Chains A and B, each alone.
Chain A
Amino acid sequence: MKLFFFKNSKAPKSYLKNINLPKGALTMRLSRELLSFLLWRLGVIIAISVSWQGLAWFIASPDFPSLFAVINSVQFHLNEGEMVANIFITLRRVLLSFIIAMLLGGIIGIIMGVNTRINKLSDSLLIIMLNIPALVTILLCYIWFGLVESAAIAAVVINKIPTVVVMIREGARAVDKDLLAVAKIYQLSPSKTFFKVFLPQLYPFIIASARSGLSLIWKIVLVVELLGRSDGVGFALNTLFQFFDIAGILAYTLVFVVIILLIEALIFKPFDKLVARGTRFD
């Protein structure tokens, strides 16, 4: 059966109405698209799993555990109970530092993007901050503030802020002055101007930095935990490393990656819709 395909549903609704589609054809098309999308994903996952299993069988070394061994290890660590606790502790650190870094980085980025003088003054500092190795910040934070939770969070935040600032600053620079002129002419209040005219133009930049931020932050959090915390995924990985428990290391990685993917799907997808409002229709 040939189905009509509107790649760009920008066409006004009246246009859709005029075409003789069998009732339910659009939903059928959607479900079919969704199905093929899911099948593709599933196919890729199965292909990776099969090649992993095959490679492990071929190499036959304890350094390269099979998928089944890893899944067994996940089960084992879940039953032991410490995995859930460690993951929650790490997630808490990730979310806390993520929120702080996005807020501070966003505010600094907007200020630097809007005010050229402040931008000139702090630009070189920003470049220095961008290029200080994550490890150095972590070590210095632990030395200066001690091996405490706040030092760990601060280390992650300091690592992340400069990249947020860079992206948000570009967004604030690219803000359409013509639209701000409209706000001025019609005498919108400062808060209305900021939230309804200025900020929506930054959404794509905020989302981009949040996306790249989450993946960077959870990687840094693991290093921070490995170096100076006695709980969390990073600490667990260090312990597993000392016992050469490769299946355990991969088990933790697998579970954590799945959780980050879930967060991505649950939190960022709705935000995506917000960003696409009025510009993309799909």
Chain B
Amino acid sequence: MIELNVAINNKCYANSEKAVLAQLDFTVKQGEFVAIVGPSGCGKSTLLNMISGLESCSGQHISYNESDLQEGITSNKALHQLGYIFQQPRLMPWLTVRENIELILPPEQFDQIDDLLAQVGLANEGEYFPSQLSGGMQRRVSIARAFAINPQLLLLDEPFNSLDAPTASRLRQLLIDLCEQRGTTVVFVTHDLQEAVYLADRIIFMSDSPSTIVHQSIIDLPRPRKESGVSELAWQAQLLFKYPRLLAGRID
């Protein structure tokens, strides 16, 4: 079974004794869309950085496809299919949109860039520089970049923050479409429960730092879902009725 296993014990911030992640243990199945919800500062970004290998600690055990990745995924040269969409688009400002995607691809795959840009609605913007695009368009480029390598595993760190509602909702739909098309395994970090209910198969709720997992819920709503659909909102209300302080990271 292809899956992502994450076990983290006592991860501290760099140059600090203060633990940010106390104890996290979870598994993500292949093709599953998992949302991680928690209050701000609870170490959600740190978690993604650890899965991706940008950060590490001694008490971690992260494996993917049954291969042990003690140092995180990028240390494994065999696995070339990790996509990471950051909070900020993180495009190279001195490269055009097309060059930004070319940067991460081998030359023989350049011909798929046109398709990819068309899919994110930027067919005519390939020769523009990031600074000539709006924030929403820049995010779409970063989504296109992440999907260019056809990732098996996609990490997203609150990618739709600070976007206007219509743009964010368009991009969410785009994300769902691309993931369904390609069967991507997704770990999506957010603090927005409504967004998580709309997108995910399962939600993992984190406590305040030093964080642990306080609750997990499988979202059994049928797809396609609506962002403010009655059943989606009802599901959310029911959960919050049961655990009123869940979003603050507590189930008491």
Interface membership of A174, Cβ < 8 A: no
Do A279 and B93 have beta carbons less than 8 Å apart? yes
Mark out the residues of chain B between 39 and 89 whose CB falls within 8 Å of any chain A CB in the assembled complex: 52-54, 74, 77, 80, 82, 84, 86, 88
CA distance A176 to B235 in the complex (A): 42
CA distance A186 to B96 in the complex (A): 18
Mark out the residues of chain A between 165 and 201 whose CB falls within 8 Å of any chain B CB in the assembled complex: 178-179, 181-182, 184-188, 192, 196-197, 200
Do A186 and B93 have beta carbons less than 8 Å apart? no
Do B54 and A196 have beta carbons less than 8 Å apart? no
CA distance A279 to B132 in the complex (A): 9
Do B90 and A178 have beta carbons less than 8 Å apart? yes
Chain B's interface size range is 20 to 34
Interface membership of B110, Cβ < 8 A: no
CA distance A70 to B131 in the complex (A): 50
Interface centre among A10, A185, A187 (most CB of B within 10 A): A185
CA distance A200 to B95 in the complex (A): 10
Q: Least Cβ distance of A40 to chain B in Å?
A: 30
Interface membership of B94, Cβ < 8 A: yes
From the candidates A10, A181, A182, A200, name the one contacting B132 in the complex (CB within 8 A).
Answer: A10
Q: Least Cβ distance of A7 to chain B in Å?
A: 16
Residues of B within 8 A of A181 (CB): 54, 86, 90
Do B103 and A196 have beta carbons less than 8 Å apart? yes
Interface membership of B128, Cβ < 8 A: yes
From the candidates A178, A200, A277, A279, name the one contacting B88 in the complex (CB within 8 A).
Answer: A178
Do B149 and A200 have beta carbons less than 8 Å apart? no
Interface membership of A133, Cβ < 8 A: no
Residues of B within 8 A of A187 (CB): 74, 77, 80
Given contacts A192-B103, A279-B94, contact A186 B149 (CB under 8 A): yes
A-side interface residues, number (CB < 8 Å)? 19
Do A278 and B52 have beta carbons less than 8 Å apart? no
Interface membership of A12, Cβ < 8 A: yes
Do B130 and A278 have beta carbons less than 8 Å apart? yes
CA distance A184 to B52 in the complex (A): 9
Chain B 90-133: CB-based contact to A (< 8 A → 1; otherwise 0): 10111110000001100000000000000000000000111110
From the candidates A10, A185, A278, name the one contacting B94 in the complex (CB within 8 A).
Answer: A278
Do A185 and B95 have beta carbons less than 8 Å apart? no
From the candidates A10, A184, A185, A197, name the one contacting B92 in the complex (CB within 8 A).
Answer: A197
Residue of A nearest to B128 (CB): A12
Binding site for B on A (CB under 8 A): 10, 12, 178-179, 181-182, 184-188, 192, 196-197, 200, 277-279, 281
25 contacts between A and B (CB under 8 A): A10-B131, A10-B132, A12-B128, A179-B92, A181-B54, A181-B86, A182-B84, A182-B86, A182-B92, A184-B54, A184-B74, A185-B54, A185-B82, A185-B84, A186-B103, A186-B149, A187-B74, A188-B104, A200-B92, A200-B94, A277-B129, A278-B94, A278-B95, A278-B130, A281-B132
